Amino acid sequence: MTSSDTVISTAGLTKHYGDVRAVDGLDLHVRRGEIYAFLGRNGAGKTTTIRMLLGLVRPTSGRVTVLGTDIVPGATAVFSRVGYLVEAAAAYPDLTVRENLDLQRRLMGAGREAVGEAMDLLGLSGSADRRAGQLSLGNKQRLSLARALLHRPALLLLDEPANGLDPAGIIEVRRLLRRLADESGVTVFMSSHILAEVAHLADRIGIVHEGRLLQEFDYDELRARTGAYLDIGVSEPDRAAGLLREQLGLDRIEPTPEGGLRVFVGPDRGPEIARALIGAGLDLTRLVPVQEDLESYFMRLTGGGS
């Protein structure tokens, strides 16, 4: 990968708040034109990371480069090519949608036509003359997105863009982001706490937990990682796992937080497993076939149980 293909790169990016390691040694590489979903549960460090990418929070240590520019205090020029939506980026409540966008347009030095285009893109034209403070949550979020992309940035940094949108709104925003990436080569870095929301949209998903990047994968890899397993309750789980490895050649076996075993095989292997465990004098209390979906995979990775 050449440096011109990398739109965001961080090296050892770290932010501590007292004893809290909000972000802990993050190495991220986001490529031009991709939609990268930064996925983590509440408190995982997503917002802090996005704020550091924007130069709004000073890292404790580590480096951030955005569109080839090192982000240090005062590095403002690059942000004319970046659009962002962060939690606190509220519109002026007493101004109308059109006035809010016009203000943003002038701040960003975009042409007059940008306001109408952004309203069309986000389906806000019918609300152009409504005050921002009176909009529904979904339309407020649309207005924030319109402000973020009004000046046609090369990079969009979006913190939980689906917040406040109903299912139809989520699909609409998903299509819009896909179109921006495919047709205009816009790079999108977005955070989410719901895997299903980004699974079909993102080119790449990075799972962040307690400030660290746990895994990165694309959708096909994700599919390959989720799948069927047997949830097994057994006395002496360690001995049981060893036995299943040696006698039946099973290699994907994980202990569960409840003291059982998760064996990644299809349900057809159940009887054979039961025979082997009981034959070795172990007590089998549970053997349940589970078809794991995306969300339970995510919860399992981030320690939330299935």
Contact set for ligand ATP, span 182-201 (CB under 6 A): 193
Q: Judged by CB under 6 A, which stretch of 46-54, 73-81, 111-119, 289-297 contacts ligand ATP?
A: 46-54
Q: Please report how close the Cβ of residue 105 comes to ligand ATP at its closest, in angstroms.
A: 29
Does position 40 interact with ligand ATP (CB under 6 A)? The reply is yes
Residue (20 or 103) nearer to ligand ATP, CB: 20
What gap in Å lies between CA 98 and CA 100, rounded to an integer?
5
Residue (20 or 121) nearer to ligand ATP, CB: 20
Q: Judged by CB under 6 A, which stretch of 17-25, 112-120, 195-203, 212-220 contacts ligand ATP?
A: 17-25
Element at 241 (helix H, strand E): helix 237-248
Does position 47 interact with ligand ATP (CB under 6 A)? The reply is yes
Does position 227 interact with ligand ATP (CB under 6 A)? The reply is no
Q: Judged by CB under 6 A, which stretch of 16-24, 127-135, 283-291, 292-300 contacts ligand ATP?
A: 16-24
Residue among 30, 44, 148, 170 that touches ligand ATP (CB under 6 A)? 44
Q: How far is CA 124 from CA 101, 136, 138, 151, 168, in A?
A: 11, 12, 11, 17, 15
Does position 45 interact with ligand ATP (CB under 6 A)? The reply is yes
Q: Encoding tokens for residue 132? A: 């921002």
Among 60, 31, 30, 66, residue whose Cα is nearest residue 48:
60
Residue (127 or 302) nearer to ligand ATP, CB: 302
Residue (20 or 108) nearer to ligand ATP, CB: 20
Does position 4 interact with ligand ATP (CB under 6 A)? The reply is no
What gap in Å lies between CA 117 and CA 98, rounded to an integer?
11
Q: Is 140 helix (H, G, I), strand (E, B) or coil?
A: helix
Contacts by residues 94-98 (CB-CB < 8 Å, ≥ 24 positions apart): 94/131, 94/132, 94/133, 95/131, 95/132, 96/128, 96/129, 96/130, 96/131, 96/132, 97/124, 97/127, 97/128, 97/129, 97/130, 97/132, 97/135, 97/139, 97/143, 97/146, 98/128, 98/129
Residue among 2, 4, 42, 113 that touches ligand ATP (CB under 6 A)? 42
What gap in Å lies between CA 13 and CA 52, rounded to an integer?
9
Does position 17 interact with ligand ATP (CB under 6 A)? The reply is yes
Q: Please report how close the Cβ of residue 236 comes to ligand ATP at its closest, in angstroms.
A: 38
Among 287, 191, 278, 181, residue whose Cα is nearest residue 233:
287
Q: Please report how close the Cβ of residue 90 comes to ligand ATP at its closest, in angstroms.
A: 16
Beta carbons of 198 and 37 less than 8 angstroms apart:
yes
Does position 301 interact with ligand ATP (CB under 6 A)? The reply is no
Does position 22 interact with ligand ATP (CB under 6 A)? The reply is yes
Question: Residue 74, Cβ neighbours under 10 Å: how many?
Answer: 7
Residue (58 or 179) nearer to ligand ATP, CB: 58
Give the residues lining the site for ligand ATP (CB under 6 A): 17, 20, 22, 40, 42-48, 193
